Structure 1
């Protein structure tokens, strides 16, 4: 019974750490996209859409900043 408790606790702890790691990565990526957008609400929305597009396209984290910077440069203001 003791081994069962240790095993369940270990698995739960590993899952929690994995979940936390994934959440932090998502927050960092979102903050990067929003920092490139500045104060414009339209550009913020545009950059969040580009972030979703990058995730769907499988852009690696090492390439994400350059990809988002290029997307920010390509942004056309609606006015």
Structure 2
């Protein structure tokens, strides 16, 4: 499922999506975008990362995707500040 609110932090933007697998478990992905305007377009596959693990419901998968996005943005921001 798509259409969730974007994650915008420190000049980075990410969109999240979820999908229910045939096993009835949920997985989620984070797509990295240049800015919020590009986030509404179809993301490039190379910019998409699957969130580790699967989850028993959509809400848990979505929460994990947002947490994963925030952690990665923090790491990317710290790496950029070291340059």
By percentage of residues, which structure has more helix?
A: 1
Higher RCO structure (Cα 8 Å, ≥6 apart): 2
The structure number with the bigger radius of gyration is: 1
Q: Please identify which structure carries the higher strand content.
A: 2
TM-score tier, shorter chain, comes to: 0.3 to 0.5
TM-score, normalised on structure 2?
0.31
